[in-house]
Amino acid sequence: MDSECKIIEIIKILLADQKGIIKMAEIKMSYIFLEKEKHESKTIQKIIIEIIDNTVDKREEKNLIVDNTKIKYRIIQKENSNRCFLEMVAKERVNYSIAALKKVDNALFKSNQQRYYDGIRDYDGISENFCKRLYPKYAEFERKLRSLVLFILTKAYGNKWQKKTISEEQLKDLKEKAHGNVSLNETLENMDLSMLEIYLFEKRHVDYSKVINKNEICSIIEGMRPTSLWERHFEKFGSQESWMKKIVDVHKVRNKVAHQKTISIEEFTATIKQLNLINKDLT
């Protein structure tokens, strides 16, 4: 088995559904290719077809066969046009469809023939599928994190937790987002993940204005160092350093999921693994 086949097999394993359920879905990839440099004898369409032929196992009039996976395709370029359109649709098992489509996609964007064209993914169904699968994991993560924060802070401060832990500047930002006053019930819901990270992990100076003598200062001097909300109340769940890394790592892809942007196979497999672990830790 050559290295390319090994990569495809690894992708299939990584993308396999964790519960072993066979999932079928339609996944579409479509492209616009723009002429960059005119070939002496070939149209863009001809160049793209040649790349596909060198990548797939078999090309028929309407179908491509890639590693035993069928992909329906159509490619169009009008006469004298400098644009070419390609659409590919796979309707087999999700993991096989993604691996097959990605194999063709990689060939199109790594070919040395790119000097003749600029390629644009105008519909990225692979990333769409990744977003759909990651979104519920992120929803679970954010809800569980808010639940943990509320459980600990209401125990420590009761109904004063907002007043005791949120700065005037942070509260002002929350009110602007909420277009008015923010109830206790809505406080954390109005924080995006970036704000929540600052809220939990930013170092805060301890107010020692009420300390009145030297002995008291000496006895609590260690507690006077700037500490974060996490260090004060959440250390039993793990160190700040480890939780900051966990949250920052999954945050990197979170905005891509929220805004339906391109997500690579590597980002998807790493992020879903991280979210599964972090959601288990938050349970």
Tell me the mean pLDDT in the region 58-69: 96
Tokens of 272: 């879903």
CA–CA distance, 70 with 104 (Å, rounded to integer): 12
Question: Both tokens of residue 152?
Answer: 């600990």
Q: In the chain, what are the helix, strand and coil shares in percent, each to the nearest 5?
A: 60, 15, 25
Q: What is the pLDDT of residue 17?
A: 46
Confidence of residue 204 (pLDDT cuts 50, 70, 90): confident
Tell me the C-alpha distance between 29 and 73, whole Å: 9
pLDDT higher than threshold 50 for residue 273: yes
| Residue 187 neighbours by CB under 8 Å, 6+ apart | 162, 166, 174
Q: Which helix (H) or strand (E) holds 83?
A: strand 83-90
Condensed to tens digits (0 to 9), the pLDDT of residues 159-191 reads 999 999 998 889 999 998 888 898 999 999 999
Q: Select from 228, 238, 229 the least CA-distant residue to 277.
A: 238
Tell me which of 84-88, 131-135, 168-172 is least confident. Answer: 168-172
Instruction: Tell me how crowded residue 100 is: count the other CB atoms within 10 A of its CB.
Output: 27
| Per-residue pLDDT reduced to its tens digit, 214-250 | 555 555 555 556 788 998 889 888 899 999 999 988 9
Confidence grade of residue 88 (pLDDT, cut at 50, 70, 90): very high
The whole-model pTM stands at 0.81
Single-letter code of the amino acid located at 222: E
pLDDT band at residue 203, thresholds of 50, 70 and 90? confident
Q: In angstroms, rounded to a whole number, what is the distance separating the alpha carbons of residues 58 and 240?
A: 53
Q: Are strands 69-76 and 117-124 parallel, antiparallel or unpaired?
A: unpaired
Over range 107-116, report the average pLDDT: 96
Q: In the numeric block, which tokens belong to residue 161?
A: 């937790």
The confidence score (pLDDT) of residue 20 equals 47
Q: What do you get for the CA distance between the two ends of the chain, in Å? A: 42
Are the C-beta atoms of residues 83 and 9 closer than 8 Å to each other? no
Greater confidence (35 vs 18) lies with 35
178, 166 Cβ separation under 8 angstroms: no
Residue 95: other Cβ atoms inside 10 A:
19
- How does pLDDT run across 140-164, given as a tens digit for each residue? 999 999 999 999 999 999 999 999 9
The predicted pLDDT at position 211 comes to 47
Average pLDDT of span 2-9? 54
In angstroms, the CA 96 to CA 90 distance is: 9
How much of the chain, in percent, has pLDDT values that exceed 90?
67
pLDDT of residue 114 exceeding 60? yes
State the Cα–Cα distance between residues 193 and 173, nearest whole angstrom.
14
* Predicted pLDDT of residue 126: 96
Lowest-confidence range among 76-85, 195-204, 215-224? Answer: 215-224
Cα 44 versus chain centre, distance = 33
Q: Which of 118, 114, 134 is nearest to 126 (CA)?
A: 134
Residue with tokens 């309707």: 91
